[in-house]
Amino acid sequence: MDRNDENDGQSARIPQQRSSVPSFLFLIFMLFILTNHTGDEFLARNHYQDALQSLNYQLSNFTAWLNGTESNFIMPDRNAAATPLVGSFMSFGSRLNPQWASYFSNVTGFTHGEIDFFNITPPSLGSATYSWRTHAETFMGDTNMTDLTGHFGSWNWTGSDKISWSIMDRAPISVKGVTEKIAMVHGRIDVRHPATSDDMKLDFEGVHFLANGSIYGFAEPTGRHIDIRYIPAFVPEAFQNDTARTIEPELMSRINKVKDMIDAGVIDQDSPSGESQGGCGFSVYAQIAPSEIPAKYMEDLEDELQKPTGRWTVKRPPLKLNGVLLSRECGILYNLHDAEGLRSQLFFRKVATYAGISALVYLVQLLLLSRQVDRSRTPAGLSRVSLWTFLTQSIVDSVSFAGHITFAIIANGRPSLSLVAPAFVACVLFAFESQHAILINQVQAPEDAVAPPPPRPVQQEPSVPSQAVPTPTTAPPRSTGPTFLSLLFRHIRSDPQARIWLGMFFFLTFIVRVIVTPSLALVFVASMYSLFWLPQIVRSVKKGRSSALTAEYMIGTSLCRLFHALYFLTCPKNVLDVEPRRWIWYLAMFIFLQVAIILLQQRFGPAFFLPKRFARAQVHDYHPALPLSAADPEAPEESLGDCAICMEAIHTEDEKQLEHVTGGLLRNVGARRSYSLAPCQHLFHTECLEKWLAIKNICPHCRRPLPPL
């Protein structure tokens, strides 16, 4: 064989790495298809053009109606029967003495409260004994039950028990001819059902009377248009004219906003999609509870809240609110009672406080992890920790990073900057834990490697005299080309970078699903948190060696991990408004039970809690009885052979080994033997093998995995 043939053979044996450019281009193409919204932007632009035309038409007709000229707009008659029915559940406010009490002039923020459901349809009222039954019958009148049933949709209105109301209260503007201070309010109402993770979302538009703290408005399912020109039809009759004149500048403001968005090319694509869960619209009546603070001090408190200067103000009173949601088209009445509101500025401070504490907790976790990595960085230490312990924590940190980033995007304001801090530290922690998990996998991978079986001897079959044996003539099999799926699978298997990209795609998809699905997020928390230390217990029992994790790391990490879980699942006033769950306390006890078992394993043995028949681990005996290899048994130095590491002779009584291991004090008290025989039958000095296993856990001669010494 010449040199060229030899080089050709070597080049044929070396597999060339396939370029990852096709995989990268394919992934970019798929992401482009998934994220391309050119068609959506075109539809959204046309939608805003139509909205602008509709608003201009509404404003012209409404202005003509206000001026008493001919108009196509007709204000509906006020339903006087709703007032006594609503008054049976709540009391509307009155003017207060500004020297002794006042109302909140701005209720921008988030309100949460419980609601009571009442069925006010005529069939249900026939057997009811409510004191307000007569008012409800008058309000419902001759309702068509067929149309009423069709409005319910798929939502379970009867089981709803809580409400979340986000309110944006605009500053009142001075309008000619308006004597009352009236502010336009809008927002969203989420009606919650305890048996489902979905909420019934209602858009809200209304007015806020600052003098008596009353709020009137409409709430319609998301996607259904709310015509604010009809709001004066159900406010008190004394305020109808002032309310109508306040609606006109609001329509002009919305027209200018739509014009600016179209001119600037800013297209809001948060338009509703999918089927509506119901078609029940509501009339909203709400009353703010008065506070025992003079109006002057309340104005100072509001100014300090809007523009903090550090000056002294009175203590902020609680924002309480009662209300009624009334639907004639569905025969539903919700009584909102003892709802508590949180101002937006206070919510922003709450988010910033949470972000600071969360970032500090992650920094503590990062410090504990760095100290643990320094103490178990050798192969001997890495072989005593579980890969899944660090891999599970890295997954939790990746979800935490994505969750904080998503929360920051949703906040979209001053609190979003503070949420970047815990997200960044969680990302750094995820990177460190992933790197440490990869290092553990590199050290422990040879433990699970299967030794190749010895080659079987080739047996030659006895020669048979050659005879003419007729061979049947068969048609050659028809070759079939590989399918697309087989080619794709082969490409993924042969290209490591394609596997990385594909794994990242599925992993990020899973994280997004965890974040946006509340029920899946709770399952994720319960499963991941319960697997922090359990793999370490199993590995210690399986390998017969205690873990290399310190008590400082396990206890500190458990406390830091439980901070976020306990905050969101035990605190009823957390920043995400997550309902408390009692099972989180059992999960916390289970985590610390695992920590206690690992600490006891380090003291009493890895399998102290198992019966004796299951507690015996398969441990290799490195010191079996071996025959001497010296030819003369009476030789002064009895040798077992040469060490495969230092290539020196191995003696049964090594003075240097005894001096190193026992310091010369336990020379005759059963010190370790000077030789060690590996499972692959290679012989070493015990001291040499210990130094080698501190670097690698494979045989230096045949590269096969070695068990712990």
pLDDT tens digits, residue range 263-275? 776 655 444 444 4
Least confident of 87-91, 343-347, 457-461: 457-461
pLDDT exceeds cutoff 80 at 150:
no
Least confident of 77-81, 158-162, 370-374: 77-81
Q: What pLDDT sits at residue 213?
A: 92
Q: What pLDDT sits at residue 495?
A: 64
Q: What pLDDT sits at residue 631?
A: 42
Cα–Cα distance between 375 and 548 in angstroms, integer?
8
pLDDT exceeds cutoff 50 at 232:
yes
Q: What pLDDT sits at residue 554?
A: 95
Cα–Cα distances (Å) from 655 to 343, 469, 648, 651, 673, in that order, read 80, 74, 14, 9, 11
Helix, strand or coil, per DSSP, at residue 284: strand
Return the higher-pLDDT residue of 57 and 47: 57
- CA torsion through residues 82, 84, 88, 93, sign: positive
pLDDT confidence band for 50 (50 / 70 / 90) = confident
Residue given tokens 């299951």 in the structure block: 614
Q: What pLDDT sits at residue 8?
A: 46
Cα Rg of the chain (Å, integer): 38
pLDDT exceeds cutoff 50 at 71:
yes
Least confident of 195-204, 384-393, 659-668: 659-668
Least confident of 39-53, 100-114, 683-697: 39-53
Return the higher-pLDDT residue of 241 and 193: 241
Reading the block at residue 439, the tokens are 């290092």
> Diameter of the chain by CA atoms?
131
| Overall average pLDDT of the 419-437 stretch | 91
Cα–Cα distance between 124 and 126 in angstroms, integer?
5
Reading the block at residue 116, the tokens are 């009571």
Percent with pLDDT over 70 in the chain: 74
Selection from 68-77, 83-92, 169-178, 629-638 with the highest mean pLDDT: 83-92
Please answer whether residues 356 and 421 qualify as being in contact, where contact means their C-beta atoms are separated by less than 8 angstroms: yes
pLDDT exceeds cutoff 70 at 703:
yes
Instruction: State the CB neighbour count (10 A cutoff) for residue 701.
Output: 14
Cα–Cα distance between 270 and 291 in angstroms, integer?
38
pLDDT confidence band for 261 (50 / 70 / 90) = confident
Please answer whether residues 340 and 320 qualify as being in contact, where contact means their C-beta atoms are separated by less than 8 angstroms: yes
pLDDT exceeds cutoff 80 at 29:
no
Return the higher-pLDDT residue of 18 and 403: 403
pLDDT exceeds cutoff 60 at 449:
no
DSSP state, residue 69: S
pLDDT exceeds cutoff 60 at 7:
no
Percent with pLDDT over 90 in the chain: 22
| Overall average pLDDT of the 474-503 stretch | 64
Cα–Cα distances (Å) from 621 to 96, 581, 645, in that order, read 90, 51, 19
Return the higher-pLDDT residue of 503 and 31: 503
pLDDT tens digits, residue range 90-136? 999 888 898 999 999 888 888 989 999 998 888 888 877 888 999 99
Where do the H-state alpha helices sit in 36-176?
Answer: 38-67, 82-87, 122-125, 133-140, 145-150
Reading the block at residue 419, the tokens are 């949420």
pLDDT confidence band for 13 (50 / 70 / 90) = very low
pLDDT confidence band for 577 (50 / 70 / 90) = confident
Q: What pLDDT sits at residue 268?
A: 57
pLDDT tens digits, residue range 516-544? 566 677 788 888 888 889 999 999 888 88
DSSP state, residue 110: E
pLDDT exceeds cutoff 60 at 334:
yes
| Overall average pLDDT of the 382-405 stretch | 88
Q: What pLDDT sits at residue 122?
A: 84
Q: What pLDDT sits at residue 413?
A: 61
Q: What pLDDT sits at residue 342?
A: 85
Task: Report the chain's mean pLDDT, rounded to a whole number.
Answer: 79
Q: What pLDDT sits at residue 478?
A: 56
pLDDT tens digits, residue range 652-677? 665 544 444 444 433 433 445 778 88
| Overall average pLDDT of the 610-617 stretch | 66
Residue type, 44: A
Helix, strand or coil, per DSSP, at residue 120: coil
DSSP state, residue 523: H
Instruction: State the CB neighbour count (10 A cutoff) for residue 707.
Output: 17
pLDDT confidence band for 186 (50 / 70 / 90) = very high
Cα–Cα distance between 121 and 332 in angstroms, integer?
7
DSSP 455-475: PPPPPPPPP------PPPP-P
Mark residue 295 as left, alpha or beta (left: phi above 0; alpha: psi -120 to 50; beta: remaining).
alpha
Reading the block at residue 173, the tokens are 């503007």
Least confident of 157-171, 364-378, 508-522: 508-522
Strand partners, 287: 214, 322
Among 612, 595, 605, which residue's Cα sits nearest to residue 545?
605
Cα–Cα distances (Å) from 549 to 208, 454, 594, 693, in that order, read 60, 39, 13, 19
Helix, strand or coil, per DSSP, at residue 322: strand
Helix, strand or coil, per DSSP, at residue 158: coil
pLDDT exceeds cutoff 80 at 453:
no
| Overall average pLDDT of the 472-476 stretch | 54
pLDDT tens digits, residue range 354-370? 999 999 999 999 999 99
Please answer whether residues 227 and 191 qualify as being in contact, where contact means their C-beta atoms are separated by less than 8 angstroms: no
Q: Per the confidence metrics, is the pTM higher than 0.85? A: no
E-only strand ranges, 274-349: 282-288, 319-327, 332-343
Least confident of 2-11, 21-30, 199-208, 489-498: 2-11
Helix, strand, coil abundance in the chain, percent, nearest 5: 50, 15, 40
